Amino acid sequence: MNNTPTLSVILCTYNNADSLAITLGQLVQCKVERWSDVEILVIDNNSPDNTEEVVRKSSESTEAPLQYHFEQKQGLSNARNLGVVKARGQYLLFTDDDADIPANWLSCYLEKIESTQSDCLFSKIEVNWDRTPPWWFDQRYNPYFVQLNYGESPLEITDIHHEFFGKNFCCKKSVLVAMGGFDEKLGRNGTSLAAGEETIIYRRLVAMSAKVIYFPDATVGHRLKPVEYTARNIEKKFVDGASSSLRIAQCFSRNRFLGRPTYPLKMALRNTVKSIFLIPVTILPMNSHAKREAFFQTLQLKRALRMIWLWVITP
């Protein structure tokens, strides 16, 4: 008997046990023809809360094969890499502890894997607003809320402009291992809200002409924490993202000066000048749109200044 599952679900979590319990409850209730085709791995990234207890209780009440693994080294990429090592599946399906999982999620991925034999597959992500969006929100912040929607028709991706996010993507294990897994210099780490670990994977897949498929049928939701409605949180995400952008440029940029990629510095200088000019201009009308635009330009300026500083100090 072949004991290798088709699909390993890798769910990395940090200090979010209550939300994890909801996601696990949805995940183990997914409709699948055979649970032998699937395994679920929860990777606890050094959580100080009762994450292990939540996983244990979930495993006692389901026939779904559910494993708990502990990664002491802080950082989302470290946790995901442990998941890659521990997983036995041919394909690795990633999600988060704040994802709302539909009942058809696993069956949709299993069907698409069989019908397309893709190297990578991913689907939609919808933000579950449980209160009115904050005053500063507009569509430019969608990536920071990991909202993803490329339409209602499947797409075969061949460019770098249809990126996936870690809440809902699947990759052939052999391909991910050959890439060396996730870059441990990227991804959330403790209080840092930097991201970008999926971007490296995505761009390498495109560069190697891998078969990457978007399909809309396995939509997951993003269940927001109260802090995600705050201006302070979006500012931290925005500014911390400078380090991710610099690291990605270090991996892919060809044009360099003093051994550093020139593109992020060029963009940071341009955005600094632009935002310094626009902040007083946008705030003059003193209406809600002007307030929102001034806030966005302020974030742009802070991110640009962080990028310039990182560019100078990072060898």
pLDDT tens column, 205-250: 999 999 999 999 999 999 999 999 999 999 999 999 999 999 999 9
Q: What is the CATH number of the domain that holds 79?
A: 3.90.550.10
CB count within 10 Å of CB 61 equals 11
Percent of the chain past pLDDT 70, that is, above it, reads 97
Q: What pLDDT is recorded for position 99?
A: 97
pLDDT tens for residues 242-274?
999 999 999 888 899 989 999 999 999 999 999
Q: Which residues are registered as beta bridge partners of 8? A: 39, 92
Q: What pLDDT is recorded for position 285?
A: 67
144 and 187 together in one domain:
yes
Tell whether 144 is covered by a domain. yes
Of the residues 229, 245, 268, the one at which a domain ends: 229
Q: Is the pLDDT of residue 2 over 60?
A: no
37 and 129 together in one domain:
yes
Q: Which helix (H) or strand (E) holds 120?
A: strand 120-122
57 and 149 together in one domain:
yes
Q: Which helix (H) or strand (E) holds 126?
A: strand 125-128
Tell whether 70 is covered by a domain. yes
Q: Tokens in use for 286?
A: 């003193």
Tell whether 84 is covered by a domain. yes
The parent domain of residue 302 ranges over 253-313
29 and 94 together in one domain:
yes
277 and 224 together in one domain:
no
Residue closest to 164 by CA, chosen among 126, 194, 220, 122: 122
Tell whether 90 is covered by a domain. yes
3-state secondary structure of 227: helix
Q: Is the pLDDT of residue 1 over 50?
A: no
Domains held by the chain: number = 2
CA distance 315 to 306: 15
pLDDT tens for residues 73-121?
999 999 999 999 999 999 999 999 999 999 999 999 999 999 999 999 9
Q: What is the mean pLDDT of the chain?
A: 93
Q: Is the pLDDT of residue 138 over 60?
A: yes
Tell whether 257 is covered by a domain. yes
195 and 258 together in one domain:
no
141 and 210 together in one domain:
yes
Of the residues 229, 263, 290, the one at which a domain ends: 229
44 and 106 together in one domain:
yes
Q: What pLDDT is recorded for position 280?
A: 82
pLDDT tens for residues 167-215?
999 999 999 999 999 998 887 776 666 778 899 999 999 999 999 999 9
43 and 131 together in one domain:
yes
212 and 83 together in one domain:
yes
Burial of 162 (0-12, 13-18, 19+ CB in 10 A): middle
Tell whether 23 is covered by a domain. yes
Q: Is the pLDDT of residue 26 over 90?
A: yes
Of the residues 229, 264, 298, the one at which a domain ends: 229
127 and 212 together in one domain:
yes
Query: What are the φ and ψ backbone dihedral angles of 274, each rounded to 5 degrees?
Result: -60, -45
Q: Which helix (H) or strand (E) holds 12?
A: strand 7-13
Tell whether 248 is covered by a domain. no
Tell whether 238 is covered by a domain. no
21 and 138 together in one domain:
yes
CA distance 108 to 96: 18
